[in-house]
């Protein structure tokens, strides 16, 4: 196994033993990027020179035993919607092409302060709108387990990069499942923190009341380390929650005895791939074996989550994306004679079809005469969804569901059907609606493709869901499978060849 296929915590231990230096890990990652990036399209921009220079500085600190933090010398990737001063930030949109922020997002600053090596900026669906990374204006990213399939989205680039060893860990953002669904599709672990836990300052907004930044990594322990590094109160974000810093690894080793896990029957209904169901149920059995008590629960509001999510997120997006007019930044249409025509041309040329669709939907939902029927109604149902989760969490410590009802689909397969694409998020959006914590871990392979298990926790109960995930990963090996440059070949995974679909 190459260094780039190791986990963050394994590398951190090797650093501690002074057996390995950051430059060596960087070399391995750079080599892997050279081998697979062209095929996968995980990155929109690489910043290897800066990362290599940072690695040499980290070498000295590691050698001197003066690491800045657990992330010191660790090569990480960040999604292209996180601002970093001096680095072009495009959100995979033509309209932001050439935009170089004069400031750095709080989370990126935290990574830099702890000595992390920022490899580059990962591919995504334009403005994080999508579930396949096909909406990137520049190129689609591919699934490392099968490059003919999508890596999920919108943080598809981050998920693919981590899965393929093009980064040790990565940051993504999750508005309706954009960390968890690609994590599931790429066979990595992805965590969406509770709304308010991680500062959004510097995250280019899609839907402000849902957006959260979180880690994609090779296992739950790595997610816990990454989360510990980026979580915490930020005075620059009014929706950031005050609290003392938490070590999210603290409960990893707790036994599951005494934990109650809920299985909501609404998530196992129509549209669920039988293979996905089988693997998820096997994982649930495993959790029971580990001592957890599993109870069936009902979340009747689930079927309303998708419309609630799409109406509110599109409404917020339509407003958040009004600022792209080419005057202060980003691409502008030629000719400035007529104000209205200028705006329209700039935006019509700059935004891709899915972004336009959401802006349209959101504008419609907020416009005079429709506000009550759509936006306000969705907000009221949002209240009911929140209440239902709160009720459920009086009985259970965590809720387990599939992350995605289907296996990674083929590129182009759902592009022409927005509604079918939206269905990809059916299991993940309720979590964002209620602002809960949730993660996705690999729970096996079907037809050679990874399947994800979603573990949903109470608000600010990240330690609980990380504990459940870690206990599961201690006794299973799905998270150790690697798609690229390893002895693990797809054929070795259960379920046979992906071409048997």
Residue 371 DSSP code: I
* Angle between the N-to-C axes of helices 220-230 and 106-113, in degrees from 0 to 180, rounded to the nearest 10: 110
Active site includes 300?
no
Active site includes 93?
no
- Report the site for another protein in 239-298 (rule: CB under 8 A): 239, 241
- Report the site for another protein in 357-416 (rule: CB under 8 A): 357, 359-361, 363-364, 366-368, 371, 373-384, 386
For 333-448, list the strands marked E by DSSP: 398-402, 437-446
Where do the H-state alpha helices sit in 143-271? 156-163, 180-186, 220-230
**From the CB of 100, what's the least distance to another protein, in Å?**
6
Using rule CB under 8 A, residue 356 touches another protein: yes
Using rule CB under 8 A, residue 39 touches another protein: no
- Per CB under 8 A, the list member of 17, 238, 244, 257 interacting with another protein is 238
Comparing CB distances to another protein, the nearer of 218 and 382 is 382
Comparing CB distances to another protein, the nearer of 175 and 467 is 175
- Report the site for another protein in 161-200 (rule: CB under 8 A): 195-196, 200
Comparing CB distances to another protein, the nearer of 63 and 387 is 387
- Report the site for another protein in 307-326 (rule: CB under 8 A): 307-308, 310-311, 315-316, 318-319, 322-323, 325-326
- Per CB under 8 A, the list member of 304, 413, 476, 480 interacting with another protein is 304
Quote the longest CA-to-CA distance of the chain. 70
Comparing CB distances to another protein, the nearer of 4 and 433 is 433
Where do the H-state alpha helices sit in 231-338? 274-289, 302-320
Based on the number of CB atoms within 10 Å of its own CB, is 9 exposed (0-12), middle (13-18) or buried (19 or more)?
middle
Per-residue tokens: 126? 């334009």
* Active-site residue (options: 28, 131, 132, 154): 154
- Report the site for another protein in 53-82 (rule: CB under 8 A): 81-82
Per-residue tokens: 89? 């930030």
* Active-site residue (options: 28, 131, 136, 178): 178
- Report the site for another protein in 89-118 (rule: CB under 8 A): 89, 91, 96, 98-103, 105
Distances in Å between the Cα of 137 and the Cα atoms of 40, 92, 130, 202, 350 are: 15, 5, 12, 21, 9
Per-residue tokens: 51? 């990362």
**From the CB of 469, what's the least distance to another protein, in Å?**
23
**From the CB of 103, what's the least distance to another protein, in Å?**
5
227: phi then psi, degrees, rounded to nearest 5: -65, -40
**From the CB of 149, what's the least distance to another protein, in Å?**
25
**From the CB of 124, what's the least distance to another protein, in Å?**
14
Comparing CB distances to another protein, the nearer of 69 and 307 is 307
Q: Are the CB atoms for 68 and 61 separated by under 8 Å?
A: yes
Distances in Å between the Cα of 427 and the Cα atoms of 38, 110, 184, 433, 446 are: 32, 31, 12, 11, 19
Using rule CB under 8 A, residue 203 touches another protein: yes
Interatomic CA distance for residues 57 and 63, integer angstroms: 10
Active site includes 79?
yes
- Active-site residues: which are they? 79, 154, 178
């Amino acid at each position: 196994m190459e260094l780039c296929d190791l986990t963050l915590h394994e590398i951190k231990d090797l650093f501690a033993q002074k057996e390995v230096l950051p430059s060596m890990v960087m070399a391995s990652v750079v080599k892997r990027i050279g081998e697979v990036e062209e095929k996968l399209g995980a990155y929109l921009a690489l910043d290897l020179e800066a990362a290599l220079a940072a690695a040499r500085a980290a070498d000295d600190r590691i050698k001197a035993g003066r690491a800045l933090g657990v992330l010191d010398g660790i090569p990480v990737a960040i999604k292209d919607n996180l601002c970093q001063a001096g680095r072009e930030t495009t959100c995979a949109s033509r309209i932001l092409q050439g935009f170089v922020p004069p400031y750095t997002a709080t989370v990126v600053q935290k990574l830099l302060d702890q000595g992390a090596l920022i490899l580059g900026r990962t591919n995504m669906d334009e403005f994080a709108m999508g579930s396949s990374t096909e909406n990137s204006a520049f190129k689609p990213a591919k699934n490392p387990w099968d490059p003919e399939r999508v890596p999920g989205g919108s943080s598809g680039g981050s998920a693919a990069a981590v899965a393929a060893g093009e980064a040790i860990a990565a940051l993504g953002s999750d508005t309706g499942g954009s960390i968890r669904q690609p994590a599931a599709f790429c066979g990595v672990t992805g965590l969406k923190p509770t709304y308010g836990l991680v500062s959004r300052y510097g995250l280019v907004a899609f839907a402000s009341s849902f957006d959260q930044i979180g880690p994609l990594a090779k296992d739950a322990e790595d997610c816990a380390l990454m989360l510990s590094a980026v979580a915490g109160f930020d005075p620059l974000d009014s929706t950031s929650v005050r609290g003392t810093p938490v070590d999210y690894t603290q409960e990893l080793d707790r036994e599951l005895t005494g934990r109650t896990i809920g299985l909501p029957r609404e998530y196992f209904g129509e549209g669920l791939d039988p293979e996905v169901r089988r693997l998820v149920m096997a994982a649930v059995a495993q959790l029971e074996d580990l001592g957890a008590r599993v109870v069936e629960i009902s979340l009747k509001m689930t079927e309303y989550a998708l419309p609630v999510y799409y109406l509110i997120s599109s409404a917020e997006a339509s407003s958040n994306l009004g600022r792209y007019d080419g005057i202060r930044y980003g691409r502008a249409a030629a000719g400035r004679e007529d104000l209205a025509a200028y705006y329209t041309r700039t935006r019509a040329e700059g935004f891709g079809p899915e972004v336009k669709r959401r802006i349209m939907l959101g504008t419609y939902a907020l416009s005079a005469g429709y506000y009550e029927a759509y936006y306000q109604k969705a907000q009221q149902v949002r209240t009911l969804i929140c209440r239902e989760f709160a009720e459920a969490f009086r009985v259970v410590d965590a809720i387990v569901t599939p992350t995605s009802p289907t296996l990674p689909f083929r590129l182009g397969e759902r592009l022409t059907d927005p509604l079918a694409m939206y269905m990809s998020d059916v299991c993940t959006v309720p979590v964002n609606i209620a602002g809960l914590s949730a993660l996705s871990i690999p729970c096996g392979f079907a037809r050679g493709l990874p399947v994800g298990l979603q573990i949903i926790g109470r608000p600010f109960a990240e330690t609980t869901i990380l504990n459940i995930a870690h206990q599961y990963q201690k006794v299973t090996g799905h998270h150790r499978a690697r798609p690229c440059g390893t002895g693990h070949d797809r054929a070795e995974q259960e379920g046979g060849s992906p071409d048997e679909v």
